[in-house]
Structures are given as structure tokens and as C-alpha cells.
């Protein structure tokens, strides 16, 4: 990247003269340019699940990077060997479509075949328990869905597209995603309508049945008691 | 080489480096995540943000209980930038005043037994451009600017679609809850009704059957 090259250039030409503060600023800017994603902490046996509600034939790409807290140096180490994450993806019918172990840094991909809520679960599968020792694991996660998952640089190189053609291709992908989402929306609205109508039916039948039960019970009660009291010679 | 030239050269490099780094666009992108928050739990997310970046945090509760959650956003020094309790949906835009790790937390600690599903969209800076734009010195042609404006319009369409989908998911989850509740309630009430009415009759009969020893003849 441009920032990396610039930092190396600066380093080689004025290595001894850079002040600590300047170096820190440059380092920070360089780190920022690496594109750090959102991160969160996860315990040793904890399982974190994320839900992606997507239409069918949609590609999902997830990138993650783990860091372990080093107690001696009191900072997060960049990468630890032997530390892995187990990724499990379930489709809306609770069928497992991806269940794989990845290293401390990994990338998983899947394409949905049924529309609905897909569940992506991550949990650590560390081989050396002593590494954790009451610490937390820091996981950087980035999930890209549908059109965002496309790598346009690769598409441009593969199909040899000009700049304008690539832009139009991006627009086409976006519009396709919108179409898929709207189809999915129609399917879900139908399900919603079915649920509402079923509730309506149930309430209607229940009211009628309840009235009949009440009347029948009332009649039975009166007749039973009447015959009971007549037998007791009280009536 | 004279000393002043060497010194000038060093300072020149430093200045150039700083200028170039400032021109490099900041990392952009959005993270859209839907996760489940169990009862009495708190989930925090962190992100390293450069100073001056405009960020937006938007969240919405999809399922669970009264569809509300506590949200809190803090800057690297721990100062609270945004804090709301029991909100169903909100959107917050801020500009990062300093470099560092910003953290935002969602809390369901006020709830005793309902899990909540929370969706959030954290946008940092601008989206990365389509091209590395190393040789982007000329202005965009008319076609290209038209493409850019269509792209922005479609992005907002997708954004609205997402919010609509979430609202629909919320409505549907309420309808499905109602449906199951009506089913259980009907069956339960039928059983209770039968048990109570038959029990009443037998209880009443037992009042009159035990009184053989005492004289409770009515109408004598």
C-alpha cells in the first residue's frame, strides 16, 4: 500500500533523525491504513453467534483475525500458533452447511441455497490451554454479504474491463441484490400473512367452541344437581 | 554535500512523508452485524478510528421481550459520547476527536429471561473507492459521475430495504408469538373450564352427602 512504501522511504533516508513522536504518528497512520475491522473479546469456551438474514444464492465472505493477550508483555500478540477457531454455519432449517476448523487467521465463504436466517457461530479450539490462563481472545471480524463480497479488482483483471465498464458492473450487481432482496421480501410477507390468518382462524374457532362448552357444561351441571337433590328428597 | 543541504534534505523528506500520509485516504467501510444478546448479558465491540473520521452507529432490536436494549458509546479516554437506555432503534453520528480505540456496548442486563436479537451498522469514514485511485488526477467524465450518483442512490435503496426487512422481521415475530400464545391459551382454558365445572359439581355434592349424622333437613 502507499502508506507502507512512504514509511519505508522515510525510515531509510532519515533513520537517526526521526523523533519518537513523529515515528509514533507515522506508525499509527500506517496501522490505520491496514484496515482494522471491528473486534470483540471472546472467552475460552464461549461461542459467539451471528445471524445473517439473506435471500437465496447470496455469497457471504467472513474474515477474522485472532490475537491473544500476552500477560508478560501486557499487550495483544499479533498471531499465536496453535490457536484456532471453529466456524460453524447453519442454514434456516438448522442444517449445518459449513463446519470447519481454521487457524488463528482465516477466511470462510458460503453461498446460501435457501432464503432466511443463517447462523454463523465461532468458538475457539485452542490446543494449548495454558495460553489462555484466564485471558480473553480478541477476534477481529468482518462479514461481507452479497454485492459487498465481490472483489472488483479481481473482476476487472479477469474480464479485462475498463473503468466505466467496472462501474456499470458494480451497478448491475447492486441491482441484482436489490431484486433478490425484494423477492425474499415477498416470500416473507406471505409467511406473515399465513401466520396472521392462522391466528384469526384459531381465535374464531376457539370463541365458538368456548361458548358451546360453557352452555353444555351449564346444562349438565343443572341436570346433574337437580337429579341429585331429587334423590336426596330436598327438592 | 554542505550541512545545510543535508539538513534540508532530511526535513524535506519528513515533510513530504507526512503530507503523503495525510493524503492517503483513511480506512473506510461499514460493519453490519446481527447478533444474539442473552439475558443479563453485555456485548462490547471495539474499533480503532483515526482522528477526524466521521462515523455513524445505527442499531435496531429485532426480536425479544419489549424490543429494547441499552447502548453506550465511549471514546478512547472513556468519555461517554452516547448513552441511551431501553431504546428500540437509534442512529448516532459523530466525528472522532482523537485517535484510538472506540468502544460501544449493548446491554440486556435489565432483562431477566428474554434474549434479544440486535442489529447494528457501524460506518467508519467513506466506503473504499472502487479503484486504488493511484492515477486519479483527472476529473470524472459525465458517464462516470452518473454512475457514481446511481451507486449512491442504490446504496440508500439497499439501506432502506434493510430497515424495512428488520421492521418486517419484528412484526412477524410478534405475530408468531401471538399465534402460539392463542393456541396455548385456548387449550389451557378449555382444560381449566372442564376441571373447574366438574369439580364444582362434585364439591357441592360432597357438602350434602357428609351430613348424615347432623340434621340438615330443609323444609321440615
**pLDDT at site B24:** 43
Q: Which of the residue ranges A20-24, A81-85, A185-189 has the most confident prediction, judged by mean pLDDT?
A: A185-189
Q: How far apart are the first and last CA of chain A?
A: 103
pLDDT above 60: residue A32 = no
Question: Does residue B189 belong to the interface with chain A, where contact is any CB pair within 8 Å?
Answer: yes
pLDDT above 90: residue A89 = yes
How many interchain CB pairs under 8 A, A with B?
Answer: 186
Mean pLDDT of A128-140: 67
Q: Write the residue in B155, B165, B204 that is nearest to A185 by C-beta.
A: B165
Question: Does residue B85 belong to the interface with chain A, where contact is any CB pair within 8 Å?
Answer: no
**pLDDT at site B28:** 73
**pLDDT at site B172:** 86
CA-nearest residue to A192 within chain B is B172
User: Does the interface ipTM go beyond 0.85?
Assistant: no
Asked if B13's CB is within 8 angstroms of A13's CB, the reply is yes
Mean pLDDT of B135-142: 71
**pLDDT at site B68:** 87
**pLDDT at site A24:** 46
CA-nearest residue to A206 within chain B is B186
Average pLDDT, rounded, for chain A: 79
DSSP H helices in B24-124: none
**pLDDT at site B9:** 62
Asked if B175's CB is within 8 angstroms of A195's CB, the reply is yes
Q: Write the residue in A192, A202, A206 that is nearest to B171 by C-beta.
A: A192
**pLDDT at site A223:** 92
3-state secondary structure of A140: strand
pLDDT above 90: residue A82 = no
A58: nearest Cα among A187, A142, A190, A178: A178
Least confident of B6-10, B171-175, B176-180: B6-10
Per residue in B95-127, pLDDT (tens digit) is 999 899 999 999 988 888 888 899 999 998 887
Contact present, B122 and B104 (Cβ < 8 Å): yes
**pLDDT at site A111:** 92
Per residue in B59-71, pLDDT (tens digit) is 999 888 888 899 9
Question: Does residue B135 belong to the interface with chain A, where contact is any CB pair within 8 Å?
Answer: no
Q: Which residues of B touch A219 (CB under 8 A)?
A: none
**pLDDT at site A46:** 82
Distance CA A3, CA A11 (A): 12
CA-nearest residue to A35 within chain B is B27
Q: Write the residue in B14, B141, B150 that is nearest to A171 by C-beta.
A: B150
Question: Does residue B26 belong to the interface with chain A, where contact is any CB pair within 8 Å?
Answer: yes
Per residue in B8-23, pLDDT (tens digit) is 666 655 655 444 444 4
Residue of A167, A169, A180 to mutate for B, most B C-beta atoms under 10 A: A167
pLDDT above 80: residue A175 = yes
Q: Which residues of A touch B14 (CB under 8 A)?
A: 10, 14, 17-18, 22
pLDDT above 50: residue A33 = no
In terms of C-beta density within 10 A (0-12 exposed, 13-18 middle, 19 or more buried), how is residue A169 classed? middle
CA-nearest residue to B199 within chain A is A221
A52: nearest Cα among B167, B159, B33, B57: B33
Per residue in A91-125, pLDDT (tens digit) is 999 999 999 888 888 899 999 999 999 999 988 87
**Unique residue bearing C-alpha cell 494449548:** A128
Asked if B178's CB is within 8 angstroms of A40's CB, the reply is no
DSSP H helices in chain A: 2-13, 20-33, 152-159, 163-231
Q: Write the residue in B24, B155, B172 that is nearest to A188 by C-beta.
A: B172
B10: nearest Cα among A107, A12, A163: A12
Chain centre to alpha carbon of residue A210: 45
Distance CA B150, CA B21 (A): 31
Torsions phi, psi for B144 (to 5 deg): -65, -40
Mean pLDDT of B39-65: 90
Contact present, B69 and B108 (Cβ < 8 Å): yes
Residue of A9, A48, A51 to mutate for B, most B C-beta atoms under 10 A: A51
Distance CA B2, CA A221 (A): 118
Amino acid at each position: 500500500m502507499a502508506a507502507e512504501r512512504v514509511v519505508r522511504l522515510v525510515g531509510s533516508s532519515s533513520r537517526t533523525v526521526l523523533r519518537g513522536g513523529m515515528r509514533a504518528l507515522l506508525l499509527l497512520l500506517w496501522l490505520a491504513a491496514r484496515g482494522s475491522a471491528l473486534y470483540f473479546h471472546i472467552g475460552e469456551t464461549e461461542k459467539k453467534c451471528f445471524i445473517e438474514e439473506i435471500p437465496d444464492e447470496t455469497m457471504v465472505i467472513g474474515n477474522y483475525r485472532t490475537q491473544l493477550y500476552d500477560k508478560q508483555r501486557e499487550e495483544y500478540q499479533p498471531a499465536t500458533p496453535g490457536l484456532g477457531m471453529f466456524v460453524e454455519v447453519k442454514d434456516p432449517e438448522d442444517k449445518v452447511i459449513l463446519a470447519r476448523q481454521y487457524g488463528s487467521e482465516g477466511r470462510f465463504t458460503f453461498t446460501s441455497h435457501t432464503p432466511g436466517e443463517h447462523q454463523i457461530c465461532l468458538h475457539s479450539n485452542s490446543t494449548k490451554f495454558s495460553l489462555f490462563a484466564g485471558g480473553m481472545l480478541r477476534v477481529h471480524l468482518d462479514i461481507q454479504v452479497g454485492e459487498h463480497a465481490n472483489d472488483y479488482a479481481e473482476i476487472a483483471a479477469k474480464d479485462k474491463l475498463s473503468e466505466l465498464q467496472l462501474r456499470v458492473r458494480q451497478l448491475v450487481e447492486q441491482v441484482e441484490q436489490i431484486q433478490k432482496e425484494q423477492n425474499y421480501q415477498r416470500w416473507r410477507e406471505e409467511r406473515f400473512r399465513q401466520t396472521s390468518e392462522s391466528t384469526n382462524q384459531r381465535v374464531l374457532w376457539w370463541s365458538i367452541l368456548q361458548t358451546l362448552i360453557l352452555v353444555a357444561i351449564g346444562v349438565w351441571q343443572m341436570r346433574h344437581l337437580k337429579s341429585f337433590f331429587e334423590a336426596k328428597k330436598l327438592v | 554535500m554542505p550541512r545545510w543541504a543535508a539538513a534540508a534534505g532530511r526535513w524535506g523528506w519528513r515533510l513530504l512523508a507526512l503530507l503523503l500520509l495525510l493524503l492517503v485516504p483513511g480506512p473506510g467501510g461499514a460493519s453490519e452485524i446481527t447478533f444474539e444478546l442473552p439475558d443479563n448479558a453485555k456485548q462490547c465491540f471495539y474499533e480503532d478510528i483515526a482522528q477526524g473520521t466521521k462515523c455513524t452507529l445505527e442499531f435496531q432490536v429485532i426480536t425479544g421481550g419489549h424490543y429494547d436494549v441499552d447502548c453506550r458509546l465511549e471514546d478512547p479516554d472513556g468519555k461517554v459520547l452516547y448513552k441511551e437506555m431501553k431504546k428500540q432503534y437509534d442512529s448516532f453520528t459523530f466525528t472522532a476527536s482523537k485517535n484510538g480505540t472506540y468502544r460501544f456496548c449493548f446491554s440486556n442486563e435489565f432483562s431477566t429471561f428474554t434474549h434479544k436479537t440486535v442489529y447494528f451498522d457501524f460506518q467508519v469514514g467513506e466506503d473504499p473507492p472502487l479503484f486504488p485511485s493511484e492515477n486519479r488526477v483527472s476529473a470524472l467524465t459525465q458517464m462516470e459521475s452518473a454512475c457514481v450518483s446511481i451507486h449512491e442512490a442504490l446504496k440508500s435503496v439497499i439501506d432502506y430495504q434493510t430497515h424495512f426487512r428488520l421492521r418486517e422481521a419484528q412484526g412477524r415475530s410478534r405475530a408468531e408469538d401471538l399465534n402460539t400464545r392463542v393456541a396455548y391459551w385456548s387449550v389451557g382454558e378449555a382444560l381449566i373450564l372442564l376441571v373447574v365445572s366438574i369439580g364444582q359439581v362434585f364439591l357441592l355434592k360432597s357438602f350434602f352427602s357428609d351430613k348424615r349424622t347432623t340434621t340438615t333437613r330443609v323444609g321440615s
